[in-house]
Each structure stands twice: as structure tokens, then as C-alpha cells.
Amino acid sequence: MAGWLLAGVAMALELDGPRRQGGLLHGEVPPGSEVRFLGHAVPVDEEGRFLLGLGRDAPEQPVITVTAADGSVTRHRLTIETRAYDIQRIDGLPDNQVSPDAETLARIRRDAALVRDARARRLPQRFFDAGWRWPLTGPISGVYGSQRILNGQPRQPHYGIDIARPTGTPVRAPSDGVVTLAEPDLFFSGGTLIVDHGQGLSSSFLHLSEMLVSPGEAIRRGQVIARVGATGRVTGAHLDWRVNWFDQRIDPTLLVPPMQEVRGND
């Protein structure tokens, strides 16, 4: 693996990938080691390979704790690049556009539990070794990390990338994986699909008009898994593609080639 050596002879740790907020790192430690990062027991395979995710607001100097097979513990402090995100303030909105009613709140909570349960299923395989491609290409209408502040209340940041295409456009699996959730009508995200790529990494696809795969199904990179829609709380048809490493939100654009290089290949 092309990477860099963080520590000396006793405990080698190799890391590869963008050391910045939103980045996904590929790591390797001597087989039999245990790894902890940002509160997670990191899945490490029998060859010592693992992933680390750096979320939107990941700390500037997160610590990787490696426990070797002989019990010795080494702490590695990473320095990562922080990012500035697009923040939009909108004031003077009527209050009912800001606060959902009790019935809507109950539905939002039920949806969140479904998503949490799906994400709690974590497969140890490295399906993502199949590599990455765009699920579809098209105009980018929303970027990772942006946030709106409505009447002074910060909303949840936008964790995905929005690609505007008409309803019915095929959505292809960006990598291999196993489907863990296929819900046709969640309040915010409408038709929603979650795919587990292994070792804590998953993709979510939002606002779909149609889902062509079911929970438990193994899928291959490039397979048509769904169709673009305008379901949930949206103003127009688009795909919102999100990537998670446990609770850390990854910037999907850091996994795939620049879109202009592949545009029109889908």
C-alpha cells in the first residue's frame, strides 16, 4: 500500500487517502491488532486492513489507538485539513415552515429508528474493494457540508451530493455491497435505499421514485438499483447520494473521479 509510516519499528501503521474533513482513509496494521478511532471499535480484517472515516466536523487532530497482539498500546495523532462549508442564513420565515407539528415529529422519529436499525447491521467484508463510480452523472445541485440557518436555527447540514436528473433516470451501485434498507416513503428522504459496503461504510440514496433491489440482496458496482425521483421533502427530481463510515459523514466526491471526466458514461 502506498502510504506513509506513522510510527517506528515497534508499531507500524500505514494510512492512505485524503487527510481532510469528509475523507475516507485506508489503513493497515500488523494482523491481530485492534484499532479505535473517534469512539469506534474499528473493524480490522485478518490481513490488518481497515477504514477510517473523517466526518464533516471531524476534529483537527484525531487520535488512532492501536493495540497490538501482545497488548502494547500506541496512540497516533493525525493532523487533518479542516474545511469551510457553504452556510446560508434565511430569516423572516413563517414559524410553521421551521417547526414540524407533533404528528410529523412522530413520523420523523420512526423514520430515524428505521435508518438507525439498518445502519446497525455492519458486514465485515470489504465490498468497496470493487472500486467506486458515480451512481449517475448530471448537474450538481447540492454539495456536501452546506447548511442553512432558518430564523436563526441551524438545520442539519447537507451530508450528500445532489445530482439533478429527471424522474426515472437509472441509479447505479457506486460499489459492491448488500442492501440493508429499502423504504418507499420516509418523511424527509422519500424513497430511500441504504447499501452496506462493509467495514462500517455505507451509501444512502434519497428521493427515489423506484427501488429495484430488496434488503439482504447482494449488488455489484454498476448494477441499476433504483430510479431518480422527487419523493420526500424536495423541490425537484434529483438523487441525493450520501456515504457514512459509522456516524462519520464522508464526502462522496472524494471517492469517485471528477465528474467531468466520466460525464455521459452512465
Instruction: Report the residue number, 160 or 200, with the smaller CB distance to Zn ion.
Output: 160
CB of 230 to Zn ion, least distance (A): 12
Q: Does 196 bind Zn ion (CB under 5 A)?
A: no
Instruction: Report the residue number, 28 or 162, with the smaller CB distance to Zn ion.
Output: 162
Bridge partners, residue 196, by sequence: 178, 202
Site for Zn ion in 135-164 (CB under 5 A): 142, 160, 162
Secondary element (H or E) of residue 261: helix 259-262
**59 vs 64: CA distance, rounded Å:** 12
CB of 239 to Zn ion, least distance (A): 8
**244 vs 256: CA distance, rounded Å:** 15
Instruction: Report the residue number, 53 or 160, with the smaller CB distance to Zn ion.
Output: 160
Instruction: Report the residue number, 78 or 250, with the smaller CB distance to Zn ion.
Output: 250
CB of 160 to Zn ion, least distance (A): 5
CA dihedral 247, 248, 253, 255 (to 10 degrees): -90
Site size toward Zn ion, by CB under 5 A? 4
**88 vs 203: CA distance, rounded Å:** 26
Instruction: Report the residue number, 162 or 176, with the smaller CB distance to Zn ion.
Output: 162
Query: Maximum Cα–Cα distance for the chain, whole Å?
Result: 62
DSSP 129: G
Instruction: Report the residue number, 198 or 252, with the smaller CB distance to Zn ion.
Output: 252
Residue 190 · residue 207 · CB < 8 Å? yes
Closest-CA residue to 189 (of 155, 160, 151):
160
Angle made by CA atoms 136, 234, 238, in degrees to the nearest 5 = 10
Using DSSP, state whether 121 is helix, strand or coil. Answer: coil
CB of 46 to Zn ion, least distance (A): 38
- In the shown chain, the binding pattern of residues 213 to 252 toward Zn ion, with x for contact by CB under 5 A and - for none, equals ---------------------------x------------
CA 83 to each of CA 22, 52, 54, 59, 86: distance values in angstroms, whole numbers, following the listed order: 9, 18, 12, 11, 10
CB of 162 to Zn ion, least distance (A): 4
Site for Zn ion in 74-93 (CB under 5 A): none
CB of 21 to Zn ion, least distance (A): 18
The sign of the dihedral angle between the CA atoms of 227, 232, 238, 239 is negative
Instruction: Report the residue number, 75 or 233, with the smaller CB distance to Zn ion.
Output: 233
Closest-CB residue for Zn ion?
Answer: 240
Site for Zn ion in 162-191 (CB under 5 A): 162
CB of 142 to Zn ion, least distance (A): 4
Residues of this chain that bind Zn ion (CB under 5 A):
142, 160, 162, 240
